């Protein structure tokens, strides 16, 4: 139990610079955790539908599959970042005409620098790997001393390149403590980078939390003690319940 709490403390009281990478299939389910994460981090990288929603709200573009209600909800984060400047935009994304798969001729890389107010955009299903070659992006990840990841960047199983390059880019930072949270996040890491995953299982710079939602809850509350697994351990005197 003490080790679990200690590792959570690396997120709640991180060594700086602190970078968080957060993605999700819906924006509204992570509004409150995102607000708290934003307060704590030095830099925030978004992925998945959360990133698409942020881009739609900031640039006033119409991205396929993003409900207007979620775009409106994301406007608060856009306004907050106008002052904080913590969100690091990944400049290249993969636009697709369909959700049916990675169909040749129906997807392409586009630059967010070309977004214009009112422009209609297809489904954004991944971050292009060359986003991580961007000087500012690579520098921020490379200079971090704590990195928290709760993110699958692309629309699986067809669009996975963004997640793979994210994990490999983070691994190039040999100084940072790397904290991965969430079953989907860990499974994608294992599937896309099996050799790297096995190599870091005993690496003291890595720690894997299976409950990504629980970690986000701990961040939101500012304490690990409200997490169900930790609460259960406390109630059982530090022993796992039978």
Pairing of strands 146-150, 18-24: parallel
Contacts of 106 (CB under 8 A, 6+ apart): 96, 97, 98
CATH fold for domain 15-222: Rossmann fold (3.40.50)
| Cβ–Cβ under 8 Å, residues 186 and 219 | no
How confident is the model over 26-51, as a mean pLDDT?
A: 90
| Cβ–Cβ under 8 Å, residues 151 and 48 | yes
Contacts of 239 (CB under 8 A, 6+ apart): 233
Judge residue 140's burial from the number of C-beta atoms within 10 Å of its C-beta, 0-12 exposed, 13-18 middle, 19 or more buried: middle
pLDDT score for 1: 42
Residue 129 above 60 pLDDT?
yes
Residue 181 above 90 pLDDT?
no
User: How many CB atoms within 10 Å of residue 114?
Assistant: 10
- The model's confidence at residue 220, banded by pLDDT at 50, 70 and 90, is low
Q: Domain ranges in the chain?
A: 15-222
pLDDT score for 10: 64
Q: Compute the distance between CA of residue 117 and CA of residue 144 in angstroms, rounded to an integer.
A: 33
Q: Put residue 231 in one of left, alpha, beta given phi > 0 → left and psi -120 to 50 → alpha.
A: alpha
Q: What does the mean pLDDT of the chain come to?
A: 87
pLDDT score for 227: 47
User: How many CB atoms within 10 Å of residue 21?
Assistant: 24
Q: How far apart are the first and last CA of the chain?
A: 15
DSSP 34: H
User: How many CB atoms within 10 Å of residue 241?
Assistant: 8
Residue 98 above 50 pLDDT?
yes
The pLDDT tens digits for 130-163 are 999 999 999 999 999 999 999 999 999 999 999 9
Q: Compute the distance between CA of residue 170 and CA of residue 177 in angstroms, rounded to an integer.
A: 10
Pairing of strands 107-111, 43-47: unpaired
Residues facing residue 121 across a β-bridge:
63
Residue 43 above 90 pLDDT?
yes
- Collapsing DSSP to helix, strand or coil, 125 comes out as strand
Distance of CA 26 to the CA centre of its chain: 13
The pLDDT tens digits for 49-90 are 999 999 999 999 999 999 999 999 999 999 999 999 999 999
Is the model more confident about 103 or about 40?
103
């Amino acid at each position: 139990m003490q080790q679990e709490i200690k590792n959570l403390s690396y997120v709640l009281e991180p060594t700086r610079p602190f970078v968080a990478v957060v993605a999700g299939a819906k924006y509204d389910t992570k509004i409150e955790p995102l607000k708290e994460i934003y307060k704590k981090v030095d830099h925030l990288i978004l992925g998945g539908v959360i990133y698409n929603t942020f881009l739609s709200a900031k640039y006033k573009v119409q991205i396929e599959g993003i409900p207007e209600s979620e775009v409106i909800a994301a406007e608060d984060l856009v306004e907050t970042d106008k002052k904080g400047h913590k969100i690091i935009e990944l400049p290249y994304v993969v636009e697709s005409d369909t959700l049916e798969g990675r169909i040749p001729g129906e997807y392409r890389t586009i630059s967010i620098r070309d977004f214009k107010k009112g422009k209609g955009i297809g489904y954004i299903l991944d971050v292009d790997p060359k986003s991580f070659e961007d000087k500012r992006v690579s520098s921020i990840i490379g200079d971090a001393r704590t990195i928290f990841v709760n993110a699958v960047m692309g629309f699986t199983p067809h669009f996975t390149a963004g997640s793979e390059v994210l994990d490999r880019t983070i691994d190039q930072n040999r100084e940072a403590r790397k904290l991965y949270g969430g079953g989907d996040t860990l499974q994608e890491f294992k599937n896309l980078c099996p050799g790297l995953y096995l190599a870091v299982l005993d690496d003291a710079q890595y720690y894997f939390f299976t409950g990504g939602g629980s970690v986000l809850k701990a961040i939101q509350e500012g304490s690990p003690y409200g997490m169900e697994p930790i609460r259960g351990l406390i109630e059982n005197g530090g022993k796992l319940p039978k």
